[in-house]
Structure 1
Amino acid sequence: MGRKRFKGRALDGVLVLHKDAAMTSNDALQQAKRLFFAAKAGHTGALDPLATGVLPLCFGEATKFSQYLLDADKRYKSTFCLGVSTETGDADGEVRERHSVSSLSEATVAQALDNFRGDIKQVPSMYSALKHNGQPLYKLARQGITVEREARDVTVYELKLLEFRSAQVLGEDYAELDVEVFCSKGTYIRSIAEDLGELLGCGAHVSMLHRMAAGPFVEANAVSLQQLAAERGEGLAEQLDHHLLPTDAPVAQLARIELPEESAYYFKLGNAVMDAQVYRIGDEGDMVRVFDSAERFLGVAELTDDGRVAPKRLLAN
């Protein structure tokens, strides 16, 4: 007989998970899914196994809005190891080269960081999750395959040098710096580290990476798998539901519009509906969250130039 298929509950909402190190984002997702006994769930942008921190998970109907979190800005704290480059650009990879950093000063490092603020171009790492012909780059890299990658435009809004530890202070043949990075979607912290190491002529890699925030979700609101498991114990999954944020949490930054009963009925059928609120809420092309008169979330819509609310993503129920 085949394995019994995992079904689970029809559960909707968002969990702000704190991912631990040494586990993949998918491992974290599957464990959370089982703890909640949820039928459907997805994460909103993978964290490397090395990385810790904020990993929003969408359950059920909330998965329809996960793209908004994939597109959201992120904030990280990271430690760069200068003087050592690795195959993967992080501490999980084999050491590729070592260079002396005995004369490297904080002032030199601080000046070099200026090159990575604002609008910059990055060539994604071969160990990223980007896909080439349907295959994640990291899978190709592990097979010894390297493919050409185009530089991508990203924005680093903030890049703070928190602390520099010289080789002399550490008593080692490498130096370290702690940074805090606030950046746009698609920014690779390991690429900043590698490019900084290349600019300084000494090589570098990421030895620690922690995501502090993903869009509106911050680590102060995150819960770990260990906390969830301890809270549930031998009890029912339902006792964890209070950790879930509403289904519209990924789009909470959008303006809200409430439709009367008749308009809501046709909107749920996929029809654009007229509403006088459109002219007060936003401009043509703006996206809004749509609710009915009972304050039930119906989905997201686009405002049109003729005063209509045109559905873009609707909840099933």
Structure 2
Amino acid sequence: MTARRGKKPKGRPVSGWVIFDKPRGMGSTEAVSKIKWLYFAQKAGHAGTLDPLASGMLPIALGDATKTVPYVMDGRKVYQFAVRWGVETTTDDTEGTAVNVSDATRPSRADVEALMPRYTGEISQVPPQFSAIKIDGNRAYDLAREGEVFEIAARTVTVHSLDLVEMTEDTTVFEAECGKGTYVRSIARDMGRDLGCFGHIVDLRRIVVGAFDEADMVTLEDLEMAADEGRETLTEEEVEAGAKPRVVDFSGLDEYVLDPALALTDLYEVPLTDEQAGRVRSGNPVLLRGRDAPAFCEEAYATGGGRLVALGAVEEGEFRPKRVFGGRG
């Protein structure tokens, strides 16, 4: 029997990172679908979920860049968030209902600053009830919405820094650099309890993920404008027939696509000649030359001609590919 051919992937083989400035109210899954649709991309994914009520950086990987998602997710994250004192909610943000209310005097700047060192370094925290944590195979937020009573175990997370940005009578704005798995909603909740006045997040914005910062972000408005500039011109007859203009020129959109290798800046880079790049793309190892070339490196990436060629490792003086990249397309 003749083997069935696989279906040709639908869409463009565009590869790279779009550092999306997610607006408040949009879910992460919705954002990925929107960007994938705008780019007519074959494949898309994101690095680190951002709550619908949060805004800011949602790195979205297109095509082969999805292979680098774990390296971005494991990177540092910086958040700016405002905590309003006096009320604790079911969701630890403005979406929930009040569960604890305090008439206690709001904390002073000195009170808050004295508490902050307790929330830096390795700390133990219980994730919010409304979170993506899995409980017996179910997402915690699904169980919470159904009224289920359950407990989430405390876990150790890392807060590299916590700074007080500004303070009013009942609200304090912080900036925090956190490691993977940290919930700033839990920080707000727990600080409120420690201060004896309760608290919840009223604004949350992520401004750094891994190697990407605010300068890399692009808004939905900018992307839609670039898409509109690349749409075909329809005849009057086509418009009257209800036809919708397609994007036929993606050059404007592609200006916002960043090199997949930018996600790998913490890894050792192996520059390849054209001949070596061809060998690596075929799955073959290449010998590293040069006085500074390492004999062993657990994780490394290879580039050739200014493009990402492969992820792999250096063993016995050779770069050995594990995941090969096909190019941007």
**TM-score when normalising by structure 1:** 0.88
Shift of 1:103: 5.2
Aligned partner (choices 312, 316, 320) of residue 301 of structure 1: 312
Q: Deviations over 1:59-82 (max 9, x none)?
A: 000001111111110011100011
Aligned partner (choices 240, 245, 250) of residue 253 of structure 2: 240
Tell me what 2:183 maps to: 188
Q: Deviations over 1:217-268 (max 9, x none)?
A: 1122211111211232262250311110012221133232123455434432
Query: Is contact 2:57–2:208 with CA below 8 Å preserved after alignment?
Result: yes
Tell me what 1:18 maps to: 21
Aligned partner (choices 204, 213, 222) of residue 209 of structure 1: 204
Shift of the 66–146 alpha-carbon distance from structure 1 to 2, 3 Å rule, reads: farther
Aligned partner (choices 219, 226, 229) of residue 221 of structure 2: 226
Q: Deviations over 1:274-307 (max 9, x none)?
A: 3234x62446334222023x44421111122x21
Tell me what 2:323 maps to: 313
Amino acid at match of 1:140: L
Shift of 1:141: 1.5
Amino acid at match of 2:312: A
Query: Is contact 1:255–1:281 with CA below 8 Å preserved after alignment?
Result: no
Which whole-Å CA distance do the structure 2 matches of 1:197 and 1:24 have between them? 27
**Secondary structure of residue in 2 paired with 1:48:** coil
Is 1:264–2:264 an aligned residue pair? no
Question: Which of structure 1's runs of 4+ aligned residues deviate more than 6 A?
Answer: none
**Secondary structure of residue in 1 paired with 2:319:** strand
Indicate the RMSD between aligned Cα atoms, in angstroms: 2.1
Shift of the 177–240 alpha-carbon distance from structure 1 to 2, 3 Å rule, reads: same
Higher mean C-alpha displacement, 151-160 vs 205-214: 151-160
Q: Deviations over 1:24-82 (max 9, x none)?
A: 01111111111111121111111101101111110000001111111110011100011
Identity of aligned residues (%): 35
Which whole-Å CA distance do the structure 2 matches of 1:191 and 1:282 have between them? 42
Kindly tell me the number of residue pairs found equivalent between the two proteins: 302
Q: Deviations over 1:188-210 (max 9, x none)?
A: 10010011011112221111000
**Secondary structure of residue in 1 paired with 2:292:** helix
Is 1:83–2:86 an aligned residue pair? yes
Which whole-Å CA distance do the structure 2 matches of 1:190 and 1:89 have between them? 6
**Secondary structure of residue in 1 paired with 2:128:** coil
Shift of 1:92: 0.8
Structure 1 residue runs without a partner (length 5+): 1-5, 167-174
Shift of the 276–132 alpha-carbon distance from structure 1 to 2, 3 Å rule, reads: farther
Which whole-Å CA distance do the structure 2 matches of 1:285 and 1:41 have between them? 29
Query: Is contact 1:44–1:57 with CA below 8 Å preserved after alignment?
Result: yes
Is 1:280–2:280 an aligned residue pair? no
Which whole-Å CA distance do the structure 2 matches of 1:182 and 1:78 have between them? 11
Shift of 1:146: 4.0
Amino acid at match of 1:158: S
Higher mean C-alpha displacement, 52-61 vs 251-260: 251-260
Amino acid at match of 2:47: T
**Secondary structure of residue in 2 paired with 1:253:** coil
**Secondary structure of residue in 1 paired with 2:297:** coil
Structure 2 residue runs without a partner (length 5+): 1-8, 232-246
Q: Deviations over 1:121-158 (max 9, x none)?
A: 22222211222344322112211224433322222111
Which whole-Å CA distance do the structure 1 matches of 2:144 and 2:97 have between them? 13
Tell me what 2:301 maps to: 289
Which whole-Å CA distance do the structure 2 matches of 1:85 and 1:151 have between them? 19
Which whole-Å CA distance do the structure 2 matches of 1:162 and 1:92 have between them? 24
Which whole-Å CA distance do the structure 2 matches of 1:211 and 1:108 have between them? 26
Which whole-Å CA distance do the structure 2 matches of 1:103 and 1:66 have between them? 42
Tell me what 1:169 maps to: none
Amino acid at match of 1:246: D
Amino acid at match of 1:47: L
Amino acid at match of 2:261: D
Which whole-Å CA distance do the structure 1 matches of 2:226 and 2:70 have between them? 30
Q: Deviations over 1:12-34 (max 9, x none)?
A: 11101100001101111111111
